[in-house]
Chain A
Amino acid sequence: MSVGRFINCAAIKAAYVSSFRQTFHGAAISAVRYKSTTPQSEDPLGMKIIGGPRSFINKLEFLEPKLEDAIPIYRVYDTEGKILDGTQDPKLSEDVLHQMYHSMIMLNTMDEVMYSAQRQGRISFYMTNYGEEASHIGSAAALDNRDLVFGQYREAGVLVWRGFTLDEFMDQCYANVNDPAAGKQMPVHYGSRDLNFVTISSPLATQMPQASGAAYALKRTHPGLCVICYFGEGAASEGDAHAAFNFAATLDAPCLFFCRNNGYAISTPAHEQYRGDGIAARGSGYGMITIRIDGNDVLAVYNATKKARQIAIEESRPVLIEAMTYRVGHHSTSDDSTAYRAKKEIEEWTSGDNPINRFKFYLINERQCWDEERDKALAAECKKQVLKAFTASEKRKKPSPSLLFTDVYDDLPPNLVKQRQEMVDHLGKYSKHYPLDDHEPV
C-alpha cells in the first residue's frame, strides 16, 4: 500500500487529488504527546514496559494498514491558485509574496542556466530543483533566518530565500577561488555560515541525526530557535533517518523534519521505496507530531512550517512534515529520467500541478498583486542577472593547489606539512603536465 505515486495510474491519482483536508492550528493536532498521566501504582508494569497505561482486548485482531486511511494532504489553494478555505490564507503582505515569487523565478532561471552550463562542459555536474520551488520557498519563509538548516542537496531555494547570491552559487559550482571551501566539493554542495545553512554532503540522510543533535544543543544555548532538516523520501529509508526521528523524539529536540516526497529516488519510484503510507505514517510510531502537506502549494508549506516551528520550540519536540511534490527534472546531469518514466507523466505534472504557476495565479487572481507584464519583466531581469554572475564566475581562477592540505585538521600536522612539500616539489618538476595556469599560484 503506498500513497499516490503510481505512474499513469488515474485511480490512485484521483484518490490523491480528492483527499485534501483543510485544517490549521488546533484542529490539526490530534495526536497526544505520549506521556502517561497514570500514576505509577495503577499500572506499574505498563509504565515499565511501554511507558504508559495499557489496555487489553480479548479478540485476536491484527492492525492492517489500509489505503483509505492514508493521511490526507493539507493544501490552501488548488492547482489554479484558487483559495479553498479563506481561513487558511495567511494573507501575507505583497512585499513578502513578491519576494517569494521572485525567489522561485530566480531559482528556476539559475537552474536552467547552470544545467545548460553542465551540458556544455563548463561545470562538471549540476542538480536542478524543478518542481520543488514551493517547498523550498514556503518553508524557508516561515523560519527565522537564524534557524539552522541541514539539507540534502535539492534545497537551493532555501539559500535563495536567505540571500545566498548568484555569485556564491556559481562560485561553488565553478569551484573557483571565491568558494570558501576552495572547490573541494562537487557542484551544488553549498554551505553558508552567515545564512545558517550547513554545508551539504553527498551521503544521504547523514544530516538527519546531526540535525537532531544540533537541535538538542541549540535548545540549551539558543532557546527560541529550531533546526530544520530536509530530506527526500528515498533518504528516509536510510538507517540514519530512523535514528534521527528516534533521537529527536526521545530527547525532546526542537527539530523540523521536512521530507520532500518528490516521487523518485533517481529511478526508484516511491512505491518501490516503501510499503506503508509514505513517510508521514512513520511519525506517530516515533511519538512525533506529523503532517502531510501539498509541497507544490507555497501557502500550505508556509502555514505548516510556521506552525510546526512554533510547536517544536514551545514544546521542545520534533515535528515531521511530509511535503508531497514531484521531481520535474532529472535526478542530476548524470541522469536521463526518460529512461524510467514517461515524458507524458512529466508533462502532466508540469501543466497540471505546477508550483510556480499555481502561486502566480494566486497572486494575480486572489491578491491582484501581479500581472503577466511584470512576469515577463521579472523573467528577463532574472535571466540577465544570472547570466552576468555566470560569466563573471566562469572567468575566475581556481584555488591554489596548496589548499589541498588545509582544513583536514584545525592546523597542519607534520605529516601534511611533509606531504604538501612533496606535492610542491613534484609540481616544480612536472608543472607542464598540470593545468596550473587555471589556478592561483601554488
Chain B
Amino acid sequence: MATHNLTRVVTGLAKKNLPACLLKRTSINSFVVTKRHATHFKFYPDPPPIDCGPTEKMNLFQSLTSAMDISLSSDPTTLVFGEDVAFGGVFRCTVDLKEKYGQDRVFNTPLCEQGIAGFAIGAAVAGSTVVAEMQFADYIFPAFDQIVNEAAKYRYRSGGLFECGKLTIRSPCGVVGHGGLYHSQTPEAHFAHAAGLKIVIPRSPIQAKGLLLACVRDDNPCLFFEPKILYRAAEEDVPVGDYTLPLGKAEVVRLGHDVTMIGYGTQVHVLKEVAEMAHDELGISCEVIDLVTITPWDEEAVCKSAAKTGRVIVSHESSLTGGFAAEIASTIQKECFLNLEAPVERVCGYDTPFPHILEPYFIPDKWRCFEAVKNVTNY
C-alpha cells in the first residue's frame, strides 16, 4: 500500500536514532523527517503449489538461491557466474553457493557483460549448464550482440549441429523506487524481437524458483528477468524441493468477466490491486493474467480471455512505444476483433528514460490502471 510523504519535526536527542538520509535540518535544533514513497504495489502472495512437498518461508532472492542450489546439486556441469556472484551477489541471490560447490563452479567474472554472455554461450555449447548473471538488466546491452546474433541463432544457423540451449542468463530488472535511468529497466521488448530466445519474468518467489529451474532445464537459451523490488518485499511459503513451472503458459491469477488485464512481474500485483478497486468502487469484475513468458507468449490464453470479456488492458513498466504491450494488443485486435467492445488499452511507462525523482509520475501505477478500467468500460 502506497503511503504519502510523512513529515514531522524532531529535535535534539530524538534525531539521533534516525538515519541521516531521512533528516533535513530546518533550524539549529530542528529537523524534518521525510519518508520516501513506499512501494507502489501491494504484494499478493500465492499459496504453495500442491504436491511439491514441504515449504519454507523464502523471499524472492532466497527462492532463486534455492533454484540455483538445486541445479548445482542435480547437474554436475552447472556453472553459476557473473560479476560479484562469489561473495553472494549484490542482491544476495548466490549466497553460500561458492562455499558449497566450489570456486570452479561458482565464480566471479571480470567486469564485462559481452564477455559474460560470450563465455556463457561457449560453455553451454560445450555442454555445461550455465546460469550467468548480468548485475542489472540495464547493463545487459553490451551483451546484446552475443545474445541476439549468437545465442538466439545458434541452433538455427547450424541446423542443430550446435546450440546453446543450456544457457540461462538471469538479471535483476524493474522499477525499484529510486533506480533512475540505469537501475530500473526491463529490456524484454528489445530481446523479444530475437527469435530463438525465451524470456521469462516471474511475479513471486514460488513462481521464480519453478520458472528458473524450468529455464535452466529448457533446451533453449533463456533470459530470466527478476523484478528487483520483489527480492525482499515478496515472501511466500516456497517448496524446498525440486519443481518446475511451465514456460510459455500464461496464468489467470484472478478470474473475472468484465475486463481482462494482462501484465507480468511486479505489475501483476498492481493489476490485482486495481481489480479489487474496480470491484469495490465500480462493481466491475476484472480478470488478471500474468503473462509469465514474454516469448514465446501464450496467445491462446490471452485471446481466450479477451474474447470472453471484450475489454482489454495491457500494462508494463517499460515504455509505451515498441513495448511488448504493442505486440499483445496487435494480436488481440487481429484474433478477437469482433469480440472487442473497446480498443485495447495500454498503460505503460511514458516514452522517456526512467526518471529518478519523477518515477511516481512515470510508472503505470494503480491509479492510471484504474482510469484505464473506466475508459475501457465506458467506451
A residues touching B (Cβ–Cβ < 8 Å)? Answer: 148, 150, 179-182, 184-185, 189, 191-193, 198-199, 201, 203, 206, 208-218, 220-221, 227, 239-240, 242-244, 246-247, 250-251, 406-410, 413-415
Contacts and interface: CB of A to CB of B under 8 A. Distances in A.
B161 A213 contact: no
Contacts of B79: 216-217
Interface string B263-275: 0000000000000
A209 B146 contact: yes
Contact of A210 (B109, B110, B121): B121
Nearest to B146: A206
A247 B146 CA distance: 15
Given A213-B118, A214-B125, A221-B127, 16 more contacts: A148-B126, A184-B156, A184-B159, A193-B161, A199-B162, A209-B118, A213-B120, A213-B122, A216-B123, A220-B128, A240-B115, A250-B110, A407-B159, A410-B155, A414-B248, A414-B296
28 contacts: A148-B126, A180-B158, A185-B157, A191-B162, A198-B125, A198-B158, A198-B162, A199-B161, A199-B162, A203-B150, A206-B150, A209-B117, A209-B122, A213-B130, A216-B119, A217-B124, A217-B127, A220-B77, A239-B114, A240-B118, A240-B145, A242-B112, A246-B112, A406-B160, A407-B160, A408-B156, A408-B195, A414-B300
B140 to A, nearest CB: 14
Contacts of A407: 155-156, 158-160
Interface string B98-124: 000000100101101011011111111
A210 to B, nearest CB: 3
Range of interface residues on B (Cβ < 8 Å): 35 or more
Nearest to A210: B122
B186 to A, nearest CB: 22
Contacts of B128: 217, 220-221
A209 B119 contact: yes
B104 A220 contact: yes
B351 interface: no
B327 to A, nearest CB: 11
B218 to A, nearest CB: 8
A46 B104 CA distance: 25
Nearest to A410: B219
A341 to B, nearest CB: 30
A209 B145 CA distance: 12
B165 interface: yes
B366 interface: no
Contacts of A243: 110, 112, 114-115, 118-119
A210 B119 contact: yes
A192 B300 CA distance: 39
A214 B123 contact: yes
Nearest to A211: B122
Interface string B7-35: 00000000000000000000000000000
B160 to A, nearest CB: 5
Contacts of B104: 220
Interface in B148-191: 149-150, 153-163, 165
A244 B115 contact: yes
A191 B146 contact: no
Given A220-B77, A247-B112, A206 B153 contact: no
B164 to A, nearest CB: 9
B251 interface: no
A203 B149 contact: yes
A192 B159 CA distance: 10
B196 interface: yes
Interface in B288-328: 296, 299-300
Nearest to B125: A214
Nearest to B148: A203
Nearest to A192: B161
Contacts of B163: 410
Contacts of B126: 148, 213-215, 217-218, 221, 227
Interface in B220-251: 220, 248
Contacts of B283: none
Contact of B77 (A206, A221, A415): A221
A410 B155 CA distance: 8
Contacts of A213: 118-126, 130
B142 interface: yes
B299 A212 contact: no
B110 A246 contact: yes
B104 to A, nearest CB: 7
Contact of B157 (A184, A209, A242): A184
Given A191-B162, A221-B126, A246-B110, A206 B157 contact: no
A243 B121 CA distance: 13
Contacts of A250: 109-110
A206 B123 contact: no
Contacts of B130: 213
Contacts of A247: 109-110, 112, 115, 118-119
Given A210-B122, A408-B155, A414 B299 contact: yes
Contacts of B299: 414-415
A209 B248 CA distance: 30
The 5 closest A-B pairs by CB, nearest first: A209-B118, A213-B122, A243-B115, A210-B122, A181-B159
A182 B77 CA distance: 31
B284 to A, nearest CB: 31
Which of A182, A185, A217, A244 gathers the greatest number of chain B CB atoms within 10 Å? Answer: A217
